[in-house]
Amino acid sequence: MMRVSDTVPYGNGINMKNTAKQVAAPDRSRLDLPVCVYLIEHPRGLVLVDTGWCREISPEGEYEPGAVRKVLPAYLAVLYHPWLPKGMAVHEQLGAMGIRPEDLECILLTHLDPDHVSGLRHLKGAKRIVVAEDEYFWSCRTVYKARQPWNLWIDQPIERVFYRGSPLGPNHWAIDLFGDESVEMVNVPGHTDGQAAIIVRSGAKFVLLAADAAFSPRNWQENITPGVGFAEKWQRRSLQWIAEMADEPGCAAVLCSHDPEIEPQTIEF
């Protein structure tokens, strides 16, 4: 979970005013948003998408500023105001299903922000950890260095894969994980340069995991861009593409990583 300024999901612009609000917003004006991970039961093995918060950020399952500060720098600690209810850390949830990290065929990281990667420490033994090279490459840029503390992922055995030309996505870049179009990482820039949305396809049906390109359907339905990101122009193009995908007849669901309305669920198709 995280308690953030409403300008994070619905700021409709990346600017100093929104950034200032994100750090300074008082508790009472903030929104509680989930931090989602997804498990794909694929014929080739189990594929996990993102890893959520690590247990160390919230040892007792409550918001604990001192514990948060051991994981995140001060400005990110106040921006995110994170906590992780007991039993909800990624390894705890997998364990409850009888799944060990070494049972994971692949962990896909949509991008390298801490709410998506800090749980990696609990998943040692997974066969592959994959991130798009564009995401990894640009993490050296000052703006991302401030957002994406390297110590949360730099020592992990991350495999970097290149986007290729594709009919999918706002800039026609995608990675076909198994070479059969069943799981594809589609570049949706704007929140970060290299961010990937994930398409899971079976027959004519697909689910789109939008990562942080949208925080909820409100973003694409009302054309409101999130107030945290790198390029508003690309945020709008990515939202436009998500809107088009959501309208396709085969679309079983579009799920956003931080949708306040989302509930834990299983989608079968």
Judge contact between 112 and 119, C-beta under 8 A. no
Looking at 6-14, 109-117, 163-171, 220-228, which segment touches Zn ion (CB under 5 A)?
A: 109-117
Alpha carbons within 13 A on the beta-carbon side of 67: 16
Closest CB 115 distance from Zn ion, rounded Å: 4
Could you identify the residue written with the tokens 């090279």?
A: 133
**Between 135 and 212, whose beta carbon lies closer to Zn ion?**
212
**Between 193 and 212, whose beta carbon lies closer to Zn ion?**
212
Closest CB 119 distance from Zn ion, rounded Å: 12
DSSP string, 243-262: HHHHHSTTEEEEEETT-TT-
Helix or strand or coil: residue 1?
coil
Rounded Cα distance between 212 and 203, Å, is 26
Query: Following CA atoms 148, 20, 209, 156 in sequence, which dihedral angle do they give, to the nearest 10 degrees?
Result: 10
184 binds Zn ion (CB under 5 A): no
Helix runs in 30-179, H state only: 65-71, 74-80, 90-96, 114-117, 133-138, 142-147
Judge contact between 226 and 5, C-beta under 8 A. no
Beta-carbon contacts of 268 under 8 Å, excluding residues fewer than 6 positions away, are: none
Residues 64-93: x/- map of binding to Zn ion (CB under 5 A)? ------------------------------
Looking at 111-119, 146-154, 201-209, 235-243, which segment touches Zn ion (CB under 5 A)?
A: 111-119
Rounded Cα distance between 232 and 76, Å, is 21
Looking at 72-80, 112-120, 139-147, 240-248, which segment touches Zn ion (CB under 5 A)?
A: 112-120
135 binds Zn ion (CB under 5 A): no
Of the residues 115, 134, 193, 259, which one makes contact with Zn ion according to CB under 5 A: 115
Closest CB 165 distance from Zn ion, rounded Å: 27
**Between 84 and 182, whose beta carbon lies closer to Zn ion?**
84
Residues 204-233: x/- map of binding to Zn ion (CB under 5 A)? --------x---------------------
Closest CB 226 distance from Zn ion, rounded Å: 10
Closest CB 111 distance from Zn ion, rounded Å: 8
Point out which residues bind Zn ion (CB under 5 A). Answer: 115, 212
